[in-house]
Structure 1
Amino acid sequence: MKRFICLSMIFTSLLFCPSVLCSRQEDDPFLWLEEVNGEKALEWVKAKNAATVAELQQHPDYIPLYNRILAVLNSKERIAFPSLVGEYAYNFWQDEKNPRGLWRRTLLADYFNPAPVWETVLDLDELSRREGEPWAFKGASYLYPAFDLCLVRLSRGGSDATEIREFDLVKKEFVKEGFYLPKAKSNVSWINRNELLIGTDFGPGSLTTSGYPRIAKIWRRGTPLSGARTLYTGQESDMGVRGGAINTPERQYIVVSRNITFYTSNSFVMEGDKLIKLDIPDDAQFGGFFRNQMLLELKSDWTTGGHTYKQGALISIDYGQFLMGDRNFAVVFTPSERSSLVGFTTTKNALLILKLTNVVSELFRYTLQDGQWVGEKIAAPEYGAIGLTATDDFSDQYFFTYANYLTPTSLYYVPANGKKIAKVKSLPHYFNSKDLLVEQYEAASKDGTVIPYFVVRSKKAKLNGANPTLLYGYGGFEIAMQPGYSAITGVAWLEKGGVYAVANIRGGGEFGPKWHQAALKENRQRAFDDFAAVAEDLIRHKITSPRHLGIEGGSNGGLLVGVMLTQRPDLFNAVICSVPLLDMKRYNKLLAGASWMGEYGNPDLPEEWAFISKYSPYQNLAADKKYPRVLFTTTTRDDRVHPSHARKMAAKMEAMGHPFYYFENTEGGHGSGVTNEQRAEMLTLEHVYLLKMLK
């Protein structure tokens, strides 16, 4: 015991040793900007915001563009997307009269009318005024199958951490002395009317290094949270532990997932009073249950039961037979070289699958007939992006959306009999697209891999290298960039003569797990090479030139454009770097950063820092390089990607004498704002910046 006390004393003394502090400050003189609400840090933010706003608001397009963008965001012609809960369609709506929003509902039968009669369930503006808090609505979890109670998630300023309160959907009020969880990154699911399956901040030692719960408990109504029964405890180094109840017509399944990393996990199912670990690969994505079938999406080839199931496939097996040792899976979907599984969901009797082929969506409906999966393609519009919006647990009716770069988003309804697909809602044409065209190009990356990308431009645009062009990219976490309709891009950029391009680089999910895994960890540079190759191809086709080419990315995409800023400043004249990761030496120590080490690697390991250090933007800034004047945007309330990434990068550029713009919204979470006014301000600053830099 004495030995541990001595070591503790030595460690404590080192923490407060002036020489150690000086050394740490010499390594990073801007660590003080990591103190999110520190007085000095907020004064710095205030000064940078003021300088940026003062300059960009002088642009002659600022006021008319702000008014146009705000009108789009507040438009009453927007689609009120439904969530099907019992006999109701629920919707969350924000406009100029309700800046924080109305959570509302209408009977499903009335939803199809041009002007449904909406019933307010919860007024977020009234709640915020009454409680003196800047509440943002983060959704609700409903009690199945009565749907008379729910758990409402409320966030202060849009952060990921939420306060959870029980809400009576009949009385439309919070339940007095009902279930309540204070602010945390909690997960919660109803087991029954009197029991919840929860993960939250239970006190010291209950969270992972990523800041997520590592303990799943069952909490019974009327008992203190401290008395909740522990069901499973993960490791502190895990990403997190999450529990949930999956309700099907056949039975309820109590499931616990131990997320070891972002891409590996162990799944457990409660049978009787025991948790049984499912014998599946750690990197397989457990997809729940449908008609007693257990669904799995494979991220790598899996050989079991004498069969090899391919990477990217969706497979199923009778759950009861699986527990008895059967490993003879049925294949629902197998990808091809240029296709992938985007996602799937269920209705009462059908499995709905979204497939992506060369970055274009297709929708399929599968049913289980005599133990075999039988599929049919749904006659949805083609050559665009399809999204599954809402399904019904008690019938086979569902809603889906369709859009492409020039076709406004439309909402389609498929009735339970599936016989007639009807367009029930549609956005107006917010911008004039009749003189625009969409092209799909391919660029060869540094290693020869073919990278597709889309270009939206005027039919009259001259290929002379002088077109102001915005190139967008993401390239991470197996997220595919699909061709969707953006009214803001249309009114703020395309109508002003700009060209818009989207790169489908590796790291994304356009072509399944292999496309994503090709740019993980030590291979991350491939994503950056892909993006640079697309930029060079735009220039080669004389669509634009470095003088007129700008790039934009947010979050992981912020890292992407941050790397482009430091590696290829010669290619661009404008960079919008939003809610970015930039200090890859410390990202795993900031907020949820540790959870992304499966994507980027662990900078604390010398062998992994060796490849991360080659591209980390913050460490690769140079005083003697010339950079385009970048615009950094972030939010103080972002508790996912720490705002200090943008803060410190800007401060370091300032110390080196490099000009930049900086804007940090005080609300917004991992986004641009909570209210439409906040979003409009951020979007206007970004587009005025592009007009100023690229025209």
Structure 2
Amino acid sequence: MKTGPALQHLVAIALGALAAPQSAAQIASMTEDPYIWLEDKDGKRALAWVEAENARTLARLENDPRYRTFYDEALAIASAEDRIAMPQMLGDRIFNFWRDQKHPQGIWRWTSAKEYATATPRWQTLIDVDALSQAEGKKWVWKGVVCLEPGERRCLITLSEGGEDATSLREFDLVDGRFVKDGFALPTSKQNADWIDENTLIVSRDWGTGSLTKSGYPFVVKILKRGQPLSEARELYRGTKDDLGVFPSVMVDGDGNRAVVITRAKTFFTSETLLWDGKTAKKIAIPEKVEAIGLVKGRLIFRTSEPWGAVPEGALASLPLKDAMAGTGTPTVIFAPAERQAVDRGNVRVTRNAVVAAIYDNVRGRAMVFTPSGDGWSSRSLKLPDNLSVDLVASDIASDEAYLAVSGFTTPTLLMSFNAASDAAPATVKSAPARFDATGLVVKQHEAPSSDGTKIPYFVVRRADTPLNGSTPTLMTAYGGFAVSNTPYYSGITGKLWLERGGAFVLANIRGGGEFGPSWHEAGRKTRRQLIYDDFANIARDLFARGITSASRLGIYGGSNGGLLMGVEMTQHPELWGAVTIQVPLLDMLRYEEIAAGASWVDEYGSVSVPEERAFLERISPYHALRRGGRYPEPYIWTTTKDDRVGPQHARKFAARMREYGLPYLFYEDTAGGHSGDADIAQGARLQALQMTYFARKLMPEQE
């Protein structure tokens, strides 16, 4: 798919993790939330509190003698002119969105395919986001482009003010190189739109009162004709307010077949798929955890998260479009993963004649090409370097030409081109230069037994000559949710700011992710989630047992769902960490459904409306787990005001509760950047430098 009212908290019950019964005063204090006012995201009182907190934190971190060096190094890497300009294939041209110090918000530009293959391509700028922002008095953040296929002349440019998930869409003509006068223009909303034809869009958005779900996403799909005001758009399909949202997309293959797909997301992981035949939208008979992801040679391509007939979970499958429209036919397996294998979610692409997918074996990547053959599919693996991550960067339905990138912890990115219809090995087109000195670094993969005996893999990057006496300053991260996989990657900033200074880095492949398919995710969903937190804690203990690091030298960080992970680890196992960075987090798990888009994640976390799930959420909620007199590491908590996905409310309230209890903490809230902190390259460098300064102060005090 291209791709409230304040409620009082109830008295805590059944908290098996508590060391002692709560006093009457403590119980009384938990019946009210004194920090509801911090949930007023843009309220004057809340923003004044943020300003005061920022001043206190920045005075400590920015005045550290290491901060400026960290910032300069991070900015230099983020804005380096010799980094790879990743391609986007539209028609017979290569497009790229580029940020540097001259264009911190970025430019969208193009060159020819032939020119792109040269060492120094000549680019033509189409949209200068910095100039557009200055002209319109807004902080525009680039969010992508959706073009009419085939031909790719008319496109919808997606822009966000300050980095929010809510976007505005404007029509752009690639041939004329300008926004279309009186063209399609959709004002700010959380929305999805795609092209039916040159004069018709299919759109889900905020159409007015009663058209958004409890999660804040649209559930009404309409057809919008050129020149029509939004008020005259014709309704095509309507979900319900209790859905997560309804999202339209249009899939086209190289033979001209077209599928207008409407995905009614009932929850984060379950959905109904409908096909529009030009008159009505008809539900197709597939399981709710099977999703359509492309179209090749008249065959719809699906990814499964549950069995579908003879197709197992975690597989790729196909079904002729005509059969899907008619409600007949049976699915055909394209690829079924073996044990410890997984299809990387979001890393499947189609070309004119093939499906290309990144497949992971024990968290080590490869790429496979699948081609229709009779009623089935043939397959082959691309010849790539071993033990690296694989990212499918770009493909084109008009040809079989495509690009992929490979990288590893100490291997800078290689961009490679290949033809999905050819047996030739991918050819290196561009190589990113090294951003740090990796001499003497080694990468090892280990496993740690979790609380239920399951072996949890993790990677360690460290110097080969590091003494195994627990003295190495180490950073560890994970995500652990939503079936998102964490695979090896090259980070010039982590390498330059941390590894070069003698630190080690750990990437944990805990459950909740997708590293080993749907079952790896399912093992830690809802009330089974404690296993995720046990996985992470037991990897730390394994690091100590191996002598790689020790509690006073181990820092951890994670964002969003990973920020929740950090909050849980800090409150459940404060003795294991010397430093904790909590980024754009969920932390109040009794109110997360009432904040920003929180209601959309009930299928991952559970709901306070279900007694068993509420009891579990209450037990693990970091905001409620904090205790007066607790001996916690001083955390660094950061968020952004413009985050309309998780929201800054969680981080604010957690910090306020720590202050109330007299616990040490650092809090910083950036005023732009959205959930990703991506307003411009300077913001990204600042956030990296602040975080690394915090870790250096805590874990490398001798280098101050």
Bin for the TM-score computed over the shorter chain: over 0.9
Aligned with 1:335 (options 334, 337, 340): 337
Q: Which residue of 2 aligns with 1:270?
A: 276
Q: Which residue of 2 aligns with 1:95?
A: 100
Alignment of structure 1 residues 122-521 onto 2, 5 Å: 122-248=127-253, 249-303=255-309, 308-323=310-325, 326-342=328-344, 343-415=347-419, 418=422, 419-521=424-526
Q: Which residue of 2 aligns with 1:597?
A: 602
Q: Which residue of 1 aligns with 2:13?
A: none
Aligned mates of 1:679, 1:632 — CA distance in 2? 16
Deviation at 1:323, TM superposition (A): 4.8
Q: Say whether 1:659 aligns with 2:661.
A: no
Aligned mates of 2:680, 2:276 — CA distance in 1? 42
SS at match of 2:444: strand
Contact 2:588-2:624 within 8 A present in 1 as well:
yes
Q: Deviations over 1:249-305 (max 9, x none)?
A: 2421111110000000000111241221110111112233221222222212234xx
Deviation at 1:325, TM superposition (A): 5.6
Aligned mates of 1:295, 1:252 — CA distance in 2? 13
Q: Which residue of 1 aligns with 2:527?
A: 522
Extract unaligned runs of 5+ from structure 1: 1-11, 16-22
Amino acid at match of 1:338: R
Deviation at 1:173, TM superposition (A): 2.0
Amino acid at match of 2:340: R
Q: Deviations over 1:463-485 (max 9, x none)?
A: 00111111101000101100000
Q: Deviations over 1:338-372 (max 9, x none)?
A: 10111321100111121110000111111112222
Extract unaligned runs of 5+ from structure 2: 9-27
Contact 1:25-1:31 within 8 A present in 2 as well:
no
SS at match of 2:619: coil
Contact 2:149-2:252 within 8 A present in 1 as well:
yes
Name segments (4+ residues, structure 1) moved above 4 Å: 23-26, 322-327
Aligned mates of 2:454, 2:243 — CA distance in 1? 34
SS at match of 2:613: helix
Contact 2:483-2:513 within 8 A present in 1 as well:
yes
Deviation at 1:58, TM superposition (A): 2.5
SS at match of 1:509: coil
Aligned with 1:631 (options 622, 630, 636): 636
Contact 1:634-1:671 within 8 A present in 2 as well:
no
> Normalising by the residue count of structure 2, what TM-score does the alignment of the two structures yield?
0.93
Amino acid at match of 1:523: R
Aligned mates of 1:416, 1:312 — CA distance in 2? 23
Aligned mates of 1:281, 1:420 — CA distance in 2? 37
> Is 318-327 or 202-211 further displaced after alignment?
318-327
Q: Deviations over 1:550-606 (max 9, x none)?
A: 111000000001000110001001001000000111111111111110000112332
Amino acid at match of 2:270: T
Amino acid at match of 1:484: Y
Q: Which residue of 2 aligns with 1:6?
A: none
Amino acid at match of 2:592: Y
SS at match of 1:516: helix
Deviation at 1:168, TM superposition (A): 2.0
Q: Deviations over 1:380-404 (max 9, x none)?
A: 1110100000001111110000000
Q: Which residue of 1 aligns with 2:79?
A: 74
Deviation at 1:177, TM superposition (A): 1.6
Aligned mates of 2:490, 2:83 — CA distance in 1? 13
Deviation at 1:331, TM superposition (A): 1.3
Aligned mates of 1:480, 1:413 — CA distance in 2? 24
Deviation at 1:421, TM superposition (A): 2.0
Q: Which residue of 2 aligns with 1:558?
A: 563
Q: Say whether 1:63 aligns with 2:68.
A: yes
| Cα RMSD (Å) | 1.6
Q: Which residue of 2 aligns with 1:18?
A: none
Aligned with 1:42 (options 47, 52, 58): 47
Contact 1:184-1:200 within 8 A present in 2 as well:
yes
SS at match of 1:681: helix
Q: Which residue of 1 aligns with 2:11?
A: none
Alignment of structure 1 residues 9-28 onto 2, 5 Å: 27-28=32-33
Aligned mates of 2:459, 2:383 — CA distance in 1? 24
> Normalising by the residue count of structure 1, what TM-score does the alignment of the two structures yield?
0.95
Aligned mates of 1:551, 1:416 — CA distance in 2? 41
Q: Deviations over 1:209-254 (max 9, x none)?
A: 1111100110011122111111110010100001111112242111
Q: Which residue of 1 aligns with 2:22?
A: none
Aligned mates of 1:223, 1:299 — CA distance in 2? 40
Q: Say whether 1:584 aligns with 2:577.
A: no
Amino acid at match of 1:399: Y
Aligned mates of 2:29, 2:202 — CA distance in 1? 43
Contact 1:398-1:415 within 8 A present in 2 as well:
yes
Q: Deviations over 1:589-643 (max 9, x none)?
A: 1111111100001123323101111101111111121100000011110111110
Aligned mates of 2:132, 2:256 — CA distance in 1? 39
Deviation at 1:416, TM superposition (A): 6.3
Deviation at 1:415, TM superposition (A): 3.8
Aligned mates of 1:324, 1:41 — CA distance in 2? 55
How many residue pairs were aligned? 672
Distance 1:153 1:493, change over 3 A: same
Q: Which residue of 2 aligns with 1:20?
A: none
Amino acid at match of 1:334: A
> Is 67-76 or 310-319 further displaced after alignment?
310-319
Contact 1:585-1:603 within 8 A present in 2 as well:
yes
Distance 1:193 1:328, change over 3 A: closer
Contact 1:665-1:673 within 8 A present in 2 as well:
no
Contact 2:294-2:350 within 8 A present in 1 as well:
no
Distance 1:25 1:466, change over 3 A: closer
Deviation at 1:327, TM superposition (A): 4.2
Contact 2:286-2:308 within 8 A present in 1 as well:
no
Contact 2:634-2:665 within 8 A present in 1 as well:
yes
Identity across the alignment (%) = 43
Aligned mates of 1:133, 1:321 — CA distance in 2? 48
SS at match of 2:676: coil
Aligned mates of 2:139, 2:327 — CA distance in 1? 53
Amino acid at match of 1:625: G
SS at match of 1:591: coil
Q: Which residue of 1 aligns with 2:12?
A: none
Aligned mates of 1:621, 1:296 — CA distance in 2? 44
Amino acid at match of 1:619: H
Aligned mates of 1:316, 1:172 — CA distance in 2? 38
Deviation at 1:326, TM superposition (A): 4.4
Aligned mates of 1:564, 1:150 — CA distance in 2? 45
Aligned with 1:684 (options 665, 685, 689): 689
Q: Which residue of 1 aligns with 2:18?
A: none
Aligned mates of 2:460, 2:240 — CA distance in 1? 46
Contact 1:313-1:334 within 8 A present in 2 as well:
yes
Q: Deviations over 1:45-77 (max 9, x none)?
A: 111111111111222211112111110011001
> Is 216-225 or 556-565 further displaced after alignment?
216-225
Contact 1:549-1:572 within 8 A present in 2 as well:
yes
